[in-house]
Amino acid sequence: MALQPSLRPLIIAGRHDAPHTIDVFLDYVCPFSAKISLAINSVLLPLFSPGGKYDGKVKVIFRNQVQPWHASSTLVHEAGLAVARVAPDGFWKFSLALFKHQGDYFDIPSSSLTPVQIREKLAGLVGDTLGADKKAAFLDLLTLKGSPNGGVAVTDDLKYTIKFSRQNGIHVSPTVLFDGLIVNEISSSWGEKEWTEFLANKVTV
């Protein structure tokens, strides 16, 4: 699947030129997305890393799946995209930390916070996860500038991810594609056994 060059940090496992692609559409405030992220980290990453069984054969792309019925979803995905810029190598580490703390950004806990306060809270998570030296650049990317309705520095990246989901008919998270086709049987409950069997049947190179 296509990926604009500025978003290459969203390739969270495998080599960029791997022939097979797993696209995983995830929402940071979706509990099922958090669940599958653990399997991605513990099962898939070792298989696709140097020395792994599928090294050079499969890559995994994190696809931001904004779900606007959760008011904070846009803000947390902006945060992920900002991290992809200020600390590209730390994107997945930050994403895992955000999934771990996703409850802080659920509807009720975030309902009394302004967008600025939510971004400041996310900056604290950036500092705790990637280092305090990353916070200023992170917040700068998420500061409203320019016209009254012009968004932030990563708004265009956010638009790209939303348009990509829409044109591919993605509605729920998590949704997983293998080589561009939706694989409905993949579940957030999958563990090592299910993923191992799936890859054995799908990887052909």
List the CATH number of the domain containing 121.
Answer: 3.40.30.10
- For residues 11-23, give the mean pLDDT: 96
Report the mean per-residue pLDDT for the chain. 96
- What are the C-alpha distances in Å from 53 to residues 15, 20, 36, 45, 47? 13, 14, 20, 11, 5
pLDDT-derived band at 146, boundaries 50, 70, 90: confident
Residues spanned by the domain of 102: 5-202
Q: What residues contact 53, with CB distance under 8 A and at least 6 apart? A: 47
Q: Give the pLDDT confidence of 27-66 residue by residue, as tens digits.
A: 999 999 999 999 999 999 999 999 999 999 999 999 999 9
Question: How many structural domains does the chain have?
Answer: 1
pTM of the model: 0.96
Q: Give the pLDDT confidence of 166-188 residue by residue, as tens digits.
A: 999 999 999 999 999 999 999 99
Residues 68/74, Cβ–Cβ less than 8 Å:
yes
State the alpha helices, DSSP H only, in the chain: 31-39, 45-48, 73-86, 91-100, 107-110, 115-130, 135-141, 155-167, 192-202
- For residues 123-128, give the mean pLDDT: 98
Give yes or no for residue 97 having a pLDDT over 90. yes
pLDDT recorded at residue 67:
96
